[in-house]
Copies of this chain bind each other. A is one copy, B any other.
Amino acid sequence: MDTAGAAANTTPVGPCARIPAGQSDFVREILDRVGDKWTLLVIATLQHGVRRYSDLQNTVPGISQRMLTLTLRQLVQDGLITRTAYAEVPPRVEYALTPLGISLLDIVGSLIDWASTHHDEIRDHRTRFGQATTKPTS
């Protein structure tokens, strides 16, 4: 790595990385949902196929009924998953990813790739975080 860190960001980023600072409201909506602890885990479970309520509760170990219900409802509301309720006498409800949810999953995959790649780098910085402050050789 060169010294481009602080100095060279006069040439900041690529063409698609521009974040409209004022318009990032709905972007944060998405990130809030994806960044939510349980949402990602539920989606991760759902990518394996159709799952029932109790299946999800088993697969995502730490989740409470409340959080599972809320998370699922939110995802359904956003059109990322579907909820299919069978009016049987042992009630059965199945959840599955919609195409929209799958496409989001695909995007998140890129982020996961990035996280995997730079995970060590970040942890490295985090351990010796004192040297991040640049002394401008005054």
Contacts and interface: CB of A to CB of B under 8 A. Distances in A.
A47 B98 contact: no
A103 B105 CA distance: 20
Given A17-B109, A82-B134, A5 B47 contact: no
Contacts of A132: 76-77, 79, 82-83
B13 A105 contact: yes
Contacts of A50: 6, 9
Given A10-B49, A77-B125, A112 B27 contact: yes
Interface residues of A, number: 85
Contacts of A43: 19
A103 to B, nearest CB: 7
A96 B31 contact: no
A18 B78 CA distance: 21
Question: A14, A24, A50: which has the most chain B beta carbons within 10 Å?
Answer: A24
Interface of A: 1, 4-7, 9-10, 12-14, 16-21, 24, 26-32, 34-37, 40-41, 43-50, 59, 76-80, 82-87, 94, 96-100, 102-116, 118-119, 121-122, 124-126, 129, 132-136, 138
